[in-house]
Amino acid sequence: MIFTMLFSLTFMSCKNAEVIDEPKNDSFIYITQAALTEPYTIPGNYTYEEGKPVLNVPLSVYRTGLKELEAYSVSILQTNVVLAQTTKLPAEAYNLADTIIADADNRTVNFNLELNIDFLRKNIKTNYSIVLTLTDPSKYELDESLKSVKILIKTEELLKAADLYYDWELKFEDNFDGDKVNVSNWGIYNGETKKREAITVENGLLVVTTSKDKDGVITGGGMAHYSNYLFGRIEFRVRMESDPQQSVGGVILTWPKGGNWPIDGEMDIYEVAVKDNTFSTFMHYGADNSKKQYRHEVDKTVWHIMRLDWFEDVLILYRDGEKVWEITDKVVIPQVMHHLCIQAGPNLPTMGDPIKMYVDWVRIYQIRK
C-alpha cells in the first residue's frame, strides 16, 4: 500500500512537470484595448485629421500563440451594454467595419471607430458609451476575458481637446504676399526709435529690421492692426535672426483699444527679451503692471507657430500645435477690446549687424455667433 502511494505521487509529479515544461501552442484573438483600461476613455486616445468629418478612436485586434501565423477574420459588433451615466452611442453617430480581416504576416490588425463630428456637436452635453465585442472567428479561439471593450466617450472634453468645440470664424488674415504692407489694415510706426523704412515685405514675409545708421543711431520698426477684438484666437508664424550681442528685442502683442495701460492689460504672445536664443510669453495686468511669464525653452531662430485662445474666463497658449500654458485667473485676462501689434527694436545702446524679425502670416478668429 505504501509502495503504491509513493509510485502514484511520483507519477503525478512527473506528469505535472511535463505539462509545465510543454510550450503552449493555443492561439487566441482579443481586442488590445480591452487589456489597457476599464473603460477605454476618450479623449485620452483619438486622432483627428483637419477638415475630416470624423474623429478616429484607434483600436486593434491581436492574435497570440506560437502557432504559425495564418490569415483569419473576425466579426465585430455593438452590444446592448450601456455604461453608467452615459447614453448608448446610436448607429448614426459612428462608422465601424463589420469584419476585421488579418493577413498572415501580422499579429496585430488596426482599425478605427469613426465618430461623427456633427453628431457630437449637436449633443455636446451628453456622454456616450459603446461596448464592442468580437464574434464568429474564422480561425483560432476568442479570449473570453478580452473579447469585449467598453468605450466611454466624454463628448465635451473630446471636442475641446480636438479643437472642434467652437465654430471659429476667420476675421482677418494677412499672408504678406505683396511687395509692401497693406496700410489699409496696418498703421506703421514712424518716430524717433521706430522708423517706417524698418518695415518691409520680402518674398512673402513681413520683415522688421533693427539697425544702426552711420551716425550710430539704432532704430527698429513696428505696426499696429487697425481692427480691435474682444476675445478670440490670435495665431501667427514667426522667427528672429540670431543675435550674438543680444542687443535686439522683438514682440508680437495685443494692446488695449483705449490705451488704458496697464489697467486694461497687455498680452505679449511672443517676446524676445531674454539673454539667450529663447523667447517668452508675458501677460501684463493691473494698475501696478503685474505680470505673469511663460518661458519657451526653444530656439527663436527657427519658425514657430504661436496661438493664443482668449476667452472671458481662460487664456490658452499653444506653440507649434501643443498646448503649453493656461491662465484661469480673470484678473489677468483682458476684458476690453485689444488690437495686434508687431514690433522690434534695440535692447541695448550698441549693436553690430542688422537683426531681422520675420513674420510669415497672421490670422485672427472669433467664435461664430
For strands 199-202 and 279-285, give the pairing.
unpaired
SS (H, E, C) 67-126: CCCCCEEEEEEECCCCCCCCEECCHHHEECCCEEEECCCCCEEEEEEEEEHHHHHHCCCC
Is the Cβ–Cβ distance between 363 and 305 less than 8 Å?
Answer: no
For 148-178, write each residue's pLDDT tens digit: 999 999 999 999 999 999 989 999 999 999 9
Give the SS3 label for residue 158: helix
CA distance 271 to 8: 84
pLDDT computed for residue 214 by the predictor: 86
CA–chain centroid gap for 105, Å, is 34
Cis omega before residue 53 (within 30°)?
no
Nearest-angstrom CA–CA distance, 225 and 91: 48
Centroid of chain to Cα 343: 28
The reported pLDDT for the residue numbered 245 is 84
- Long-range CB contacts for residues 328-331, cutoff 8 Å, separation at least 24: 331/285, 331/286
* Alpha helices, H only, the chain: 2-21, 117-122, 155-161
Q: What is the pLDDT of residue 352?
A: 86
The full set of domains in the chain, from first to last, is 22-161 (2.60.40.1740), 168-367 (2.60.120.200)
Under a CB-based contact definition with an 8 Å cutoff, are residues 186 and 223 in contact?
A: yes
Q: pLDDT value at position 10? A: 33
Q: Which residues contact 330 (CB under 8 A, 6 or more apart)?
A: 312, 313
Integer Cα distance of 243 and 220 in angstroms: 14
Cα–Cα dist 81/59, whole Å: 19
pLDDT at residue 273, rounded to an integer: 78
Spell out, as residue ranges, where the chain has pLDDT lower than 70: 1-25, 274
Confidence (pLDDT) at 8: 34
Report the 10 Å Cβ neighbour count for 53.
11
CA dist 95 and 115 (Å) reads: 7
Tell me what pLDDT residue 5 has. 35
Helix (H) or strand (E) holding 210: strand 205-212
Closest residue by Cα to residue 174 from 252, 269, 107: 252
Predicted TM-score of the model (pTM): 0.77
What pLDDT does residue 274 have?
A: 64
